[in-house]
């Protein structure tokens, strides 16, 4: 068994592609099979080296490792060999129609009530006609003549599946400049590189039928591959996620402070009835099974992902969280703030609240109360009982209770109306900083 993840380096890795990467990785690791990372970079006009680097960086951040790596741009000689073989067998045939001519043909077929399939008109071209076209400066592109009938396979997700080849246009496999398209390059690579299981999106179902036909034309057995087509991944509004339509890039999620393991679990569980339980990676590997995946489209819900990320952060020990924490952080700081962290990017703010400066907030009518609060601050050293002792004394002196007592203090000390328990945060702020903030807030509240 061997699997591959084959992204096209024409953009950032987004959650739709990442879901397929996770599926390939978990399935391969569960079955102790190698995983190939292949850059399908035949589209030279849109492929970028920086996109390749970004894809590798995002996969490593997510925790996905691969055993082999390849790129299609280094295999052009091999593709040319196969192209000549298919030409010699008559399965690749030259075409000379322009885009305008093809559009007219499609429109004529639609007006006649026929499906807009390619009519194979170029199959009837004589050698003399071809020579005349080439003499007039026309350069052919090449189509693959599909077999009659259908291609069938037992899909690990979709069950018994088939593609009726007579309902598909003969695909263009070679451009006029001699470069080949994904449809051919991909199946050549899968055959040459020993790939056995192809896990990809439902939108490739027709490609699968076509590529099975190409594989058999190259001598492969009909059962050479096992397929698993994951249903489409939709956005929260039901729209198809696409890297060309603002789908969420992994680099964006990483920079926003999401953790990789909750994201991996979320992508692995999408489209299943399995609960999100925050499992370690080893458990995700051991339990991954395509039998759990529904055949219906899955919907990416950011709120669910954020909730899982929040649980992951709240469950982290200080040592686990240390890479996320500012230099100088202590277990007491992490214990104080972790219950209020949804994203790792929020941590520096609370570090600033505890140890730096905040923007004071005017509180009209509260100046006298805040000055009294400053005067009643207990002497240091402080501990987690200092908050209770201070607020009890302040309540007795002012008669205030509940929100009227606690909210002005929170606003003055943290600049926020909600956040970590002040019983744990106050000792980190310390008496000099707390007194200064209370006096400054009082002055602003005159």
| pLDDT single digits (tens) 268-299 | 999 998 999 999 999 999 999 999 999 999 99
The closest of 125, 116, 107, 6 to 59, measured between CA atoms, is 6
Is there a contact between 157 and 231 (Cβ–Cβ < 8 Å)?
A: yes
Q: For 220-239, what is each residue's pLDDT tens digit?
A: 999 999 999 999 988 877 77
Query: What's the pLDDT score for residue 32?
Result: 97
Note if the bond before 381 is cis, omega within 30 degrees: yes
Distance CA 429, CA 407 (A): 17
| Whether residue 124 has pLDDT greater than 90 | no
pLDDT at 45: 66
Rounded CA-CA distance 172/143 in Å is 4
Tell whether the model's pLDDT for residue 73 goes beyond 50.
yes
Average pLDDT over residues 119-147: 91
If pLDDT is split at 50, 70 and 90, which confidence band does 424 have? Answer: very high
Predicted confidence at residue 12, as pLDDT, reads 87
What CA–CA distance (Å, rounded) separates 435 from 273? 53
The structure tokens listed for 349 are 């703010």
Q: What is the CA radius of gyration of the chain?
A: 31
* pLDDT above 70 coverage of the chain, percent: 98
What average pLDDT does the chain have? Answer: 94
- Which pairing describes strands 197-201 and 172-174: parallel, antiparallel, or unpaired? unpaired
Tell me what pLDDT residue 244 has.
46
What would the two tokens of residue 47 be?
A: 């492929």
């Amino acid at each position: 068994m061997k699997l591959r993840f084959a992204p096209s380096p024409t953009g950032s890795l987004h959650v739709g592609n990442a879901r397929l990467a996770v599926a390939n990785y978990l399935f391969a690791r569960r079955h102790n099979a190698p995983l190939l990372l292949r850059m399908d970079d035949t589209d030279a006009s849109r492929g970028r080296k920086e996109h390749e680097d970004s894809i590798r960086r995002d996969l490593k951040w997510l925790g996905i490792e691969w055993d082999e790596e390849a790129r299609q741009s280094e295999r052009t000689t091999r593709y040319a060999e196969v192209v000549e073989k298919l030409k010699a067998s008559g399965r690749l045939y030259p075409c000379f129609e322009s885009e305008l001519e093809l559009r007219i043909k499609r429109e004529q077929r639609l007006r006649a009530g026929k499906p807009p399939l390619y009519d194979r008109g170029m199959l009837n071209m004589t050698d003399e006609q071809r020579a005349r076209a080439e003499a007039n400066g026309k350069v052919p592109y090449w189509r693959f003549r599909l077999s009659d009938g259908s291609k069938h396979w037992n899909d690990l997700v979709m069950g018994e599946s088939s593609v009726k080849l007579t309902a598909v246009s003969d695909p263009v496999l070679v451009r006029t400049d001699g470069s080949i398209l994904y449809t051919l390059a991909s199946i050549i690579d899968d055959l040459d590189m020993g790939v056995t299981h192809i896990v990809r999106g439902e939108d490739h179902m027709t490609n699968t039928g076509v590529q099975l036909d190409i594989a058999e034309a190259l001598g492969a057995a009909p059962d050479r591959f096992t397929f698993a087509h994951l249903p489409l991944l939709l956005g929260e509004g039901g729209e198809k996620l696409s890297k060309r339509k603002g789908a969420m890039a992994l680099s964006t999620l990483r920079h926003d402070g999401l953790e990789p393991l909750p994201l991996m679990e979320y992508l692995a569980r999408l489209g299943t009835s399995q609960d999100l339980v925050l499992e370690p990676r080893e458990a995700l590997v051991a339990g991954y099974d395509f039998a759990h995946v529904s055949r219906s489209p899955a919907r990416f819900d950011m709120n669910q992902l954020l909730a899982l990320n929040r649980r992951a952060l709240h469950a982290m020990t200080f040592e686990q969280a240390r890479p996320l924490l500012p230099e100088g952080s202590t277990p007491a700081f992490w214990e104080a703030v972790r219950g209020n962290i949804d994203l790792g990017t929020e941590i520096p703010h609370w570090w600033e609240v505890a140890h730096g400066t905040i923007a004071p907030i005017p509180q009209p009518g509260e100046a006298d109360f805040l000055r009294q609060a400053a005067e009643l601050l207990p002497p240091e050293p402080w501990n987690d009982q200092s908050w209770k002792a201070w607020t009890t004394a302040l309540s007795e002196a002012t008669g205030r209770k509940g929100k009227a007592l606690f909210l002005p203090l929170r606003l003055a000390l943290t600049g926020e109306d909600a956040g970590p328990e002040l019983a744990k945060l106050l000792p980190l702020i310390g008496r000099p900083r707390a007194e200064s903030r209370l006096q400054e807030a009082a002055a602003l509240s005159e």
